[in-house]
Each structure stands twice: as structure tokens, then as C-alpha cells.
Amino acid sequence: MQTLMIVCAGGATSSLMAQNVVKSATSEGMDAVLLFPDDVKYKDSFLEKYSERDLIVVMGPVGAITAGKFRDYKEQVDAVLVAPQVKYMYKTVEEVLGELNIPCANIDSLDFGRMRGDKILTQGLALMDAKNSK
């Protein structure tokens, strides 16, 4: 099981993007599901419900990534992608996640605008693979 979190400002377009990422993963034969931060927060119940899945995509607000709040998710999230709408917050996200050894990256604006779930999936999987190969 791998968990990719996509963070944004409000969630309307980002939830569509997250749905497209799940659809792309499913079309590639993965057992994928879209969740929200509260579904992931409690490690034991999260693992009990979803450990058999190949990919968990979590869609949440960028405000969830603060040193205090994100500690609840640090063992459940493998990588974070930052939506273009909150690109200005990337440095803060990178600092918090860097301390927790969780890779992050900005989502390409063009891929996001075109709702290219396949490209975002590839980007997320590459981040997670890089983390796992360390």
C-alpha cells in the first residue's frame, strides 16, 4: 500500500484531480481509492480498512501540513503533491515534510489544468519510489 496526498486551497478542482488520479491508477490495474485526511488520521483503523489497497489518494487542505497537525499522518502518507493554487506555500510544506522524511513536489500547472490524472499519478509514484529506494 502506498499513500499519496494531494493538497490544495479549497478542494473543488483538486478533488476532481484526485478522482482522475484514482481513475488512472484503476485503469492501470491498481486497487485505488480516494480518501480525506480524517479517514487517514488514525493509523490503526486506517491500516485495518485499507492495507490491502495498492494506492490511497488523500485529498486535503494545504493547512493540514503544519508541524503539529501532520504528525498525525506522518506514518500513513508516503508523498505529497501540492496543487498549483497553493504553490506559494510549497517552501513551508517542504520544510515540514522534510523533517518527517516525506517527499513532496509541486504539480505541474498545465497537467493540473488539463486534469491529466495519468501524469499526476506518474509524478506521485516516482516520488514514492524515490523515497522507498533510499
pLDDT digits (tens, 9 = 90+) for 2-18: 999 998 887 677 888 99
Q: Is 5 helix (H, G, I), strand (E, B) or coil?
A: strand
For residue 108, the 8-state DSSP code is P
Measure the CA–CA gap between 23 and 54, rounded to whole angstroms: 13
Q: Is the pTM of this model over 0.85?
A: yes
Measure the CA–CA gap between 125 and 134, rounded to whole angstroms: 15
pLDDT digits (tens, 9 = 90+) for 58-103: 998 887 777 677 777 778 899 999 999 999 999 999 998 988 889 9
Tally Cβ neighbours within 10 Å of residue 118: 16
Contact 14, 85 (CB under 8 A): yes
CA distances 43 to 11, 46, 75, 77, Å, are 23, 5, 8, 10
Which CATH fold would you assign to the domain 2-133? Answer: Rossmann fold (3.40.50)
pLDDT digits (tens, 9 = 90+) for 95-122: 989 888 899 999 999 999 999 999 999 9
- The residue written with cell numbers 497537525 in the block is 69
**pLDDT above 90 (res 130):** no
What integer is the mean pLDDT of 18-27? 95
Map out the domains of the chain as residue ranges.
2-133
129 contact partners, CB below 8 Å, separation of at least 6 = none
